[in-house]
A = this chain, B = another copy of it.
Amino acid sequence: MYRTHTCGELSLQHVNQTVTLAGWVQKSRDKGFMNWVDLRDRYGITQLVFDESRTDAQVFALAKTLGREFVIQATGTVIEREAKNPNMPTGDIELLVTELRILNASITPPFTIEDETDGGEDIRMKFRYLDIRRNPVKNSLLFRHKVTMEVRNYLSAKGFCEVETPYLIKSTPEGARDFVVPSRMNPGQFYALPQSPQTFKQLLMVGGMDKYFQIVKCFRDEDLRADRQPEFTQIDCEMAFVEQEDILNVFEGLTRHLLKEIKGIDVAEFPRMTYDYAMKTYGNDKPDIRFGMKFGELNAVAQHKEFGVFNSAELVVGIAAPNCGELSRKEIDALIEWVKRPQIGASGMVYVKCNADGTFKSSVDKFYDQADLQQWAVATGAQAGDMIFILSGKADKTRSQLSALRMELATRLGLRKPDEFAPLWVVDFPLLELDEETGRYHAMHHPFTSPKPEDIALLATEPGKVRANAYDMVLNGNEIGGGSIRIHDKATQALMFKYLGFTEEEAYNQFGFLMDAFQYGAPPHGGLAFGLDRLVAILGGQETIRDFIAFPKNNAGRDVMIDAPAVIDEKQLKELAIEVKV
């Protein structure tokens, strides 16, 4: 036993007790005849005191040698502090040390172990084990544990069984790139790491497992955008004998439970909106509905005047930015430049200032009169004091641009409050999406998603219009979960592969085991997967997921701490029957 208590638990009730603590030296203050050390462990900080007049001389001398991050063990008497620190849970007491032992010394750490550190991202990643000592990272990991425990206990109590599916599976050309694993025992052959346990969870439903979940690592070998990881964690769920409504209810229940237990927040029934509505109203299939600024379509009231830019546009659409009527010309110009950046790609932006007196001032006053602008204000829901921003062009692109502006404005206006939670369901996703480059249709969710029965006939004629029994759970502008009702009969699954451009042979080679399984009494089933990293970050009120992952990789897919990936031995390559050809 290295300690009798932790550094977070001593209080006035322990005064006069002899205790032993162990931990790290957070800081040391030497006042000559007095020496104070803040001792830190996972649970808190306790002040140690060494007093020349009361402390053994050897112990007193040793205390003066302690540097930052030394690991020590200290025994002493708990005493009441003269100068109490109300900001510290242990601030009423200190430990008058009688015995001191250095368990391990430390060289000077490369950055300060403080909530606000002087270390940049790169150095913190290289010394991640030191970064984890900092409260923001440590607490994020503890928070993640709390969330996963809540998830497991909730689902388990609802009759879900966690089943581990394999990590060494088979590569499929569909979807993102697989990570592959050469097989030594089967030379020339490869396993793949799962992008998700999709087919296995469906086979568990065929196997009668009924309610399955798993918190599981998944892998995608994609070029990494910011805040994407090659390995990520899913809360993966599947149920048999259910319709979409049943699934939405169960996982809305789970999410509501998490918000209640973790955040102490009661949320009402989740709003539901169709994919079409979300795209038209927010320009986005994962709208942040913590604030308004809904899209107002202006074609009817802005076209057929003298303004050629609008007249030639497929879509004219605006939003009312609340209380932005007083933006200066310079600020407005900066916003126009912002939407014209290549990442956004607008060619220009029209604005209308809604004056307090009910009049309007716009950048297109040459073409539109006050009555016209009044109609725009109605369509966008603008109030006196607001500013209307209007974009135009091809419908899809313009919506996406305006959505980016909407989010940017909301951020600047402080409308994206991290302590506010606005979940919703987006339903009726399209089954297929057209790849503009290849002209081929891809499964929007995945090839196992069931088309809506009433839309199946459209597959042959207007595949882009077929809706799927697919749904996303959205929280504060993030897709935190998504799923679908699956196909559960061989004929429909074969049809689906056909429309996705698979030959019969390709379909059978890749997914024959699943289609075979559907012949032996597959029940209707469906499910959903949450992205745990993102979910935990949002519940924690953060935008980035990295602090919620103990050992994340950088944007080049590298673990800079252990320096992986790395070259391997020739002997290993030979055993695996592969050669490197760079």
* Residues on A facing B (Cβ under 8 Å): 1-3, 22, 24-25, 40-43, 69-71, 103-107, 109, 127-133, 138, 141-142, 144-145, 148-149, 152-153, 156, 161-171, 173, 177-193, 199-200, 203-204, 206-211, 217, 219, 221, 223-224, 230-231, 233, 241-243, 245-246, 488-489, 513, 517-524, 549-551, 553, 556-559, 561-569, 572, 575-582
Contacts and interface: CB of A to CB of B under 8 A. Distances in A.
Contacts of A520: 69, 106-107, 109, 127, 129-130
A217 B152 CA distance: 18
**Which secondary structure characterizes the binding site on chain A?**
loop
B566 A171 contact: yes
B166 A231 contact: yes
This chain's copy number in the assembly: 2
Contact of A208 (B1, B42, B106, B224): B42
A261 to B, nearest CB: 14
A561 B521 CA distance: 17
A379 B559 CA distance: 59
A181 B179 CA distance: 7
B521 A105 contact: yes
Contact of A177 (B70, B127, B184): B184
Given A42-B209, A192-B564, 13 more contacts: A2-B241, A2-B243, A127-B517, A127-B520, A144-B164, A164-B217, A167-B193, A167-B217, A168-B557, A182-B578, A185-B221, A186-B557, A579-B581
Nearest to A241: B2
Which of the listed residues A40, A185, A231 has the most CB atoms from chain B within 10 Å of its own CB? A185
B513 A563 contact: yes
Given A145-B162, A163-B141, A185 B572 contact: no
A178 B152 CA distance: 31
Q: For the complex of A and B, list the 8 residue pairs with the smallest distance between their C-beta atoms, beginning with the closest.
A: A132-B207, A106-B521, A170-B564, A189-B565, A2-B241, A69-B521, A183-B565, A42-B210
B564 A191 contact: yes
Contact of A565 (B142, B170, B562): B170
